[in-house]
Structure 1
Amino acid sequence: MSKNRFRFSALASGCLLACTTPCLHAQGVATDAELAPVVVKGTAVRSGLPAGLPGTTASKDAQQLREQNLVNPEDALQYAPNTTIRKRYPGDRNALIAGRSFGTLQPSRALVYVDGYLISNFLGRFDAPRWNMISPEAIERVDILYGPYSALFPGNSIGTTVAVTQRTPQAFEISGRVSGYRQSFDQYGHKDHYDGHQLSLHLGDRLASGLWYAADLNRQNSTSQPMQYHTVSADAAGRFPEVQVPGPATPVSGIVYDTDPKGLKRAVFGANSGAIDHTVQDTFNLRAGYRFTPDLEASAMAAWWHNDTKTRNVSFLRDASGAPVWSGVVSDGNNRFYIPASAFSPYTRKETHQQLGATLKTRHAQGWNTSLVVSDYRILRDTQRQADNPDPVAAGGGVGSITRRDGTGWNTAEVQATWTPSAGDWTGGRHSLAFGLHRNGYKLDQTVDSVAAPGNWKSDQGALSQFYRGKTEVVALYAQDTWRFADDWRLTLGWREERFKAFDGQQLGGGTTVTYHSRRLRGHSPKAALAFAATDSLLLKLSVGRGVRFPNVEELYNGSVTATSQTLSDPNLQAETSDAIELSAEQEWARQRLRVSLFHDDVKDAILRQSTSDPTVCKTQSTTASTYTCVQNVDRVKTSGIELAWSAEDLFVKRLGMEASAAYTFKSEVVANRKDPAMVGQWWLRVPRTRATLQVSWRPDDKWLLAAGYRHQGRAYNDTYNLDVNPGVYGGVSKVNQLDLRGTYKATRELELALGVNNVNDQHAYQSHPYPGRTFFAELRFAQ
């Protein structure tokens, strides 16, 4: 295990505080500001984040990532301090990020870049970063920034910013891997195995002309465990809702009774709504670069991702002959229930996405540098076909719906100028400057076509029944100055001015089209940080900053309705504003490093999306749906806590590496909300009180590696009013206490075999959906 794992920002800060030779320069995360060289086993590796950033950072390189069971790119954050990755299964397309003061219900508070190109999907609630554009074999390093303390990043950085850097070849190189995995899953009496495999290939070269190229191919074929279940909860007296559908009930067995998250008796009928997902994904990523002169270079990336998904369901119910029962009125002799035909309906989905990006920049060791970064992410095709009948009926066709998002996507552009100081320059060698102009635009166009009888949901085109669409744009100007006003002191001051526009918003529902007026909002984000090198090994830092996160298109305009659910958006949503402060101390010893951070986050007009079965929560007169989803501003939410990160190398045993992190949230609660006073005093959704990780690796010789990782997360609330008193079941946000193991053997210089297991203790854990059970991994990797 490298001694540089999860490096603290003291190393980056030291580059500006005390270096006497010029630092490296490279393309950062939408910035060409000065970057710190990160030394890993004697090799200079460029970080994906600018040097001397206000706030706290953490990092991992490719070698460190191979010491854990890495299947998908988001696994790189699995052990990051005070971070949650809601990855439900290998191949999950909705692996959301949660951090210090926000949960996975606020995914737009996280920024993710790959090689400086934005892959954050701020279009919809369940649209996670497009991790799929990255092949795990191509990752060189991952860097994380906490909080809205740098003017170089957009307002969505109020939570967590992630920069993924892909490998840039220095000579000819080829590598690849073949991996397979099997999960054992046993819940509600349904036990099964779910398998998958992945093939990756990386090829790159740097030619004598200065041209370099890299190509990555990745194919993944995997099947999930059940993601959700059809359930009915009783009232406080233990009575289930009366069945209003006339006719006799089918006698059945197999209904499983448990207690739901709110402590109410619940009946569970099976895995539904396309619960078991079989996904085949292909990624092709092509990159190239050329240095025209020693001080001018260009690079570009083109990537494509295709997904083919088919889902199925499992009914627990059996009639007297033992045949599955999927719908209708049923009874187990004690209770009667009605199961709609759509409850166990499957769906298919085909997607093709494209990411294009280009960068042009200068590389002067000192003085002025400029950069231009442009990118475009486009959903070329996205068609989801949903049946309205359960699996056996849907297999023969029938009614359903088709949801399309073709043409949806976003684009970004950024122009930046930076000044790198040198001794005796016009700043006295003490100022590092950055100025920039940033723009991003998002477009969402979602249509729903209904396939009526006698049509076929699998192949027919249907008739338009619903749509919602709209666009948003953010234009920002920013400036930042890092001033080393004394040998041991550094002051960073920044300002970001943002203008937001929402326009072309429309909804069609119930035969009525609603057109919304365009809106404009502005955001002002001052930043300041003071760093003091108290000793050669102790860095103290105070950072304050504001971040402004504007609403996304889906939050503004989504008014979709299905047979069982209703979604209510708010076209008048305000931007959420975070005023954050962090005080940190970072200490290094010969073999250890320790960071302690105190943080406080005060968010005004927090944007909350919540789902409920109570229509009064969403302020709607409708009572026909079983689930209501609404978006609203919450006046004020405050979060404060403490965070520790520690690492050690060769501390007790030679070639033994250890890392640990722990976070304790003192309070994360709603302190004001005029629209819903009952929320005041309640804990903010999906922010746990505790998070912790521990990683240990040992290399007894050059061939063997033995590694273990432990992940802990305390329970959190999934109910606005904190009524979920029983979180350790489906629908709750439970504790996570899982142990992971990995062992690798280097058979030859080129070949490496790895075996691993995640969730060794097979703990049942939930982030509303169930997390995977015990999962075994086998991997063969080659590199030349």
Structure 2
Amino acid sequence: MTKYAPLLSAAAFAALGFFDSGALAQESEGEAVEEGVEEVVVWGDAHGSREAGYASPISVLTQEDFAAINVATTEDVVKYEPSIVIRRRFIGDSNGTMGIRGSNMFQTSRSMVFADGVPLHYLLQSRWSGAPRWTMVSASEIARAEVIYGPFSAEYGGNAMGGVVVIESAIPQKREFHFDSSLYNQDFAAYGFDDTVSGYKTFLSYGDKLGDLSLYLSYNHLENAAQPQSYFYGAGVSSSGPVPVTGAVTGKDSRGNPQLWFGDSGVEDTATDNYKVKLAYNFDDWSALLNVAYEDRGTVADARNSYLRDSNGNRVWSGTVEQGGQVFAVPASRMGVSELERDSLSVGLRLRGDLSERSRLEFNINEFQVLRDETRSSGRNPRDPAYTPDGQVNDYGDTGWQTADAKLTVDGVLLPGVTLVSGLRYEAYELNLDVYRSSHWRAGSQDSYSSRSGGETGLAAAFVQAGWDINEQWNLTAGLRYEDWQSDKGYYSDDDPATPAFDIVQAPSQSRSEASPKLSIGYLPSRDWNFRYSIARAYRFPIVEELFSQYQAYNSINEANPDLLPEDGLHQNLMVERLTERGSVRVNLFTETIDNGIESQSTVLPGGASIRTFIPVDEVETDGIEFIANVYGFADGKLDMRFNLAWTDSVTVRNAADPTLEGMRSVRMPEWRGNLMLDYQLRDNWDLGANLQYASDSFGRTDNTDTEDNVYGAQDGYTRLGLKSTYDLENGIALGLGVDNLTDEIAYVAHPWPGRTWYFNLSYDY
């Protein structure tokens, strides 16, 4: 721990006894026990911090906890939980990446998301392309969510270095119909853009129970316009005869250098349709759940803005220009437009049942296919006088994954109080990306290859974990996970113009095996206190993009690195928990040491283009403290509160590739994060909620030179206040009004966070 840890931990421990009066209203993990709440049936296992098999810090959310959140999409449900950041730049963003604890928001393969046992995490790509497929699950169908911190359970591999989000949806127990619709409105102003953008969501679901069969059908349509996500400045050049212009916005970049900003990416229009079928069937002591989800997603980014005007008042879209004596280039491709079409299909099957009074068996099978993922881009803006239909097409083919696992749980093994969990898991991933030159980008013509890359990875794992209730005060959990990983069929292009064929390089294959031990010791001196120390080794193997992705697009070049080794992490957590009569207070002290951390490192070239590759960072150390207070039933039982504050210190200790980076803070890792959710029951049918989200400044560059605040490209701190009110009318109708970012704070996480956003909600239940 760093020198500040003792001071912070002492302050946190002093607060443990703060909330300690009134009637018991809530279990420590947040499961509702209030009388009169209708039972919600889910098929997932609930965890408890006092159980012997508990090895990881866990935060649990039920439907009652969602009341203070303006929930538009699934990631909204968990974005206020401790040590979590979700980079959702606008409602409907397909790049809603998640970071947990010492894993930043672009280290997407260090966190996992499951919904009804089906993976939503995208372990094929990283950074913005590796965001979980949140929209494969509609927020309106969620019954419960758990956040499991760190890789302390042998049930999860190294992709749980940050943590795991486990979502469970409700299973219909009777005939039901649900409808909800939301309108969104955002005012946004930055650089040369000042406008209002809006959108809406419509969700329909039907459920029924016919004997032993439960049926659930749903349709979710989300359509929204986003504020501009990128802003462009020109690279200085020496040229004779530049075109005189006006309109460029004077400002600074994230490193404090003065720049002339000449345009932005304009409003993006996104539309997503999600179709879901769930069939649940009970027979004897067994149950089966079939989960089929289809997503159709489209994005149109055809409204790029040029701020520049020539002497005749015409917009300037490309070329070499001059303003105020400064000559700079406007690359034509920066103002190009694009369209995305993506279709995805996920099929999952969960089967579980009792083998005997003391043993249970569970199977999960999933297949995820990218049916179509095509991005068509123009080489110039259609309003550019030099425009032609030439462009580029990015096409993902034969991309997706298959997973299967089996888990056996046996109680009372060898000794009373011992529960043994063992299992097997198999994962196979494939990604293929072809980039084409196109003579007609809008039609999607694929005339010749510009680059090609792809490959496969596979993982076979076995684990065993035993939880032992030694006595009323002590318990022990020990586990071991063995993983056998391989990469295969990797390739990338290295074309020789002198040969007639497009040349492909076959990348070398790899295979590695690792064993990850886990240990957790719990001490419960009384019913009110709970102490637990956990330690775990975890290995996170490279994903397909990190190994094989190599391409050259208009503004970026990516180099493959097929020889990457797995990340090697040692994780520790000390938890102190105090149960009170109104909830719980918890402190977690955690430390992580990651060797061979796979980091995307890039260099910006003149004109704004970048070249990047995945290079291992030899050692990164992260220390942190979380203070969490979940307290229920204030003010005559009407006020509930969830509060958390996290301090994190993450530093590069060794980096042979560039020793000058040693001692630098890890990128996109704020030192402080905090969240507050308040829910007040004004009347039986009227609910008032408030939420507050805080983060301190961080860095986006590994050399920590990006210190300028409130500019495009910065990693700003922010304080965002939200309000929400829901009023239940008779006959199943409810009205809601909410706002996020009430103070309209404009901050950047490289791209701009949303401005003040208003929500209007209408729902109906039958």
Give the alignment's TM-score, normalised by structure 2.
0.92
State the Cα deviation string for residues 158-211 of structure 1 (Å, max 9, x = none).
112001111101111111201110110000132001110000012111112x01
Residues 96-115 of structure 1: matches in 2 within 5 Å? 96-115=97-116
SS for the counterpart of 2:311 is coil
Match of 2:132 in 1: 129
| Residues 1:518 and 1:6: Cα distance change in structure 2 (over 3 Å) | farther
Match of 1:339 among 326, 330, 340: 330
User: Aligned letter for 2:418?
Assistant: H
Match of 2:299 in 1: 309
| Residues 1:395 and 1:129: Cα distance change in structure 2 (over 3 Å) | farther
Match of 1:21 in 2: none
Match of 2:390 in 1: 399
| Residues 1:40 and 1:722: Cα distance change in structure 2 (over 3 Å) | farther
CA contact (8 A) 1:4 1:40 kept: no
| Residues 1:132 and 1:101: Cα distance change in structure 2 (over 3 Å) | same
Match of 2:6 in 1: none
CA contact (8 A) 1:54 1:149 kept: yes
Deviation, structure 1 residue 536: 0.7
| Residues 1:586 and 1:93: Cα distance change in structure 2 (over 3 Å) | same
Q: Distance in 2 between matches of 1:576 and 1:4?
A: 44
Match of 1:466 in 2: 451
User: Aligned letter for 2:226?
Assistant: S
User: Aligned letter for 1:154?
Assistant: G
Match of 1:427 in 2: 414
Match of 1:24 in 2: none
Deviation, structure 1 residue 7: 6.5
Deviation, structure 1 residue 288: 0.4
1:179 aligns with 2:182: yes
Match of 1:243 in 2: 238
Residues 325-724 of structure 1: matches in 2 within 5 Å? 325-363=316-354, 366-393=357-384, 398-421=389-412, 427-452=414-439, 455-511=440-496, 512-613=503-604, 626-665=609-648, 667-724=649-706
| Residues 1:5 and 1:576: Cα distance change in structure 2 (over 3 Å) | farther
| Residues 1:40 and 1:736: Cα distance change in structure 2 (over 3 Å) | farther
Q: Distance in 2 between matches of 1:407 and 1:737?
A: 43
| Residues 1:395 and 1:445: Cα distance change in structure 2 (over 3 Å) | farther
1:736 aligns with 2:718: yes
User: Aligned letter for 1:575?
Assistant: P
Q: Which runs of 5+ in 1 are unaligned?
A: 12-36, 234-240, 615-622
Deviation, structure 1 residue 40: 5.9
CA contact (8 A) 1:8 1:58 kept: no
Match of 2:755 in 1: 773
Match of 2:168 in 1: 165
Deviation, structure 1 residue 648: 1.6
Match of 1:224 among 205, 223, 226: 226
Deviation, structure 1 residue 750: 0.2
Match of 2:257 in 1: 264
Q: Distance in 2 between matches of 1:74 and 1:143?
A: 12
Deviation, structure 1 residue 610: 2.5
Deviation, structure 1 residue 297: 1.7
User: Aligned letter for 2:527?
Assistant: D
Deviation, structure 1 residue 394: 9.9
SS for the counterpart of 1:699 is strand
User: Aligned letter for 2:390?
Assistant: V
Match of 1:203 among 203, 206, 211: 206
Match of 1:286 in 2: 277
| Residues 1:145 and 1:658: Cα distance change in structure 2 (over 3 Å) | same
| Residues 1:413 and 1:562: Cα distance change in structure 2 (over 3 Å) | same
User: Aligned letter for 2:712?
Assistant: Y
Match of 2:14 in 1: none
CA contact (8 A) 2:393 2:444 kept: no
Deviation, structure 1 residue 316: 1.2
Q: Distance in 2 between matches of 1:89 and 1:702?
A: 33
* 67-76 vs 56-65, which moves further: 56-65
User: Aligned letter for 1:639?
Assistant: T
State the Cα deviation string for residues 104-127 of structure 1 (Å, max 9, x = none).
121111100010111111111222
CA contact (8 A) 1:692 1:711 kept: yes
* 192-201 vs 311-320, which moves further: 311-320
SS for the counterpart of 2:601 is strand
User: Aligned letter for 1:505?
Assistant: G
Deviation, structure 1 residue 598: 0.4
Deviation, structure 1 residue 495: 0.3
CA contact (8 A) 2:435 2:451 kept: yes
CA contact (8 A) 1:703 1:747 kept: yes
| Residues 1:45 and 1:80: Cα distance change in structure 2 (over 3 Å) | farther
CA contact (8 A) 1:70 1:136 kept: yes
Give the alignment's TM-score, normalised by structure 1.
0.90
SS for the counterpart of 1:486 is coil
CA contact (8 A) 1:114 1:163 kept: yes
Q: Distance in 2 between matches of 1:124 and 1:634?
A: 19
CA contact (8 A) 2:467 2:476 kept: yes
Q: Distance in 1 between matches of 2:718 and 2:508?
A: 45
Deviation, structure 1 residue 538: 1.1
Deviation, structure 1 residue 697: 1.4
Match of 1:151 among 138, 144, 154: 154
Q: Distance in 1 between matches of 2:209 and 2:374?
A: 39
Q: Distance in 2 between matches of 1:456 and 1:290?
A: 48
CA contact (8 A) 1:8 1:595 kept: no
| Residues 1:243 and 1:129: Cα distance change in structure 2 (over 3 Å) | same
Q: Which runs of 5+ in 2 are unaligned?
A: 1-22, 497-502
Deviation, structure 1 residue 48: 5.1
Deviation, structure 1 residue 256: 0.8
| Residues 1:398 and 1:631: Cα distance change in structure 2 (over 3 Å) | same
User: Aligned letter for 1:144?
Assistant: V
State the Cα deviation string for residues 601-637 of structure 1 (Å, max 9, x = none).
01111110133216xxxxxxxx898311121100100
SS for the counterpart of 1:599 is strand
Q: Distance in 2 between matches of 1:225 and 1:625?
A: 21
State the Cα deviation string for residues 630-669 of structure 1 (Å, max 9, x = none).
211001000001101102223345401112100112x210
Q: Distance in 2 between matches of 1:734 and 1:458?
A: 40
SS for the counterpart of 2:335 is coil
Q: Distance in 2 between matches of 1:432 and 1:93?
A: 41
> What is the root-mean-square deviation in Å for CA atoms of aligned residues?
2.1
User: Aligned letter for 1:263?
Assistant: G
Deviation, structure 1 residue 429: 2.7
Match of 2:57 in 1: 56
Match of 1:192 in 2: 195
Deviation, structure 1 residue 329: 1.4
Match of 1:85 in 2: 86
User: Aligned letter for 1:358?
Assistant: L
Q: Distance in 2 between matches of 1:288 and 1:133?
A: 16
Q: Distance in 1 between matches of 2:355 and 2:208?
A: 24
Match of 2:17 in 1: none
CA contact (8 A) 2:25 2:33 kept: no
Q: Distance in 2 between matches of 1:394 and 1:603?
A: 52
CA contact (8 A) 1:346 1:394 kept: no
SS for the counterpart of 2:511 is strand
Q: Distance in 1 between matches of 2:309 and 2:338?
A: 23
* 221-230 vs 46-55, which moves further: 46-55
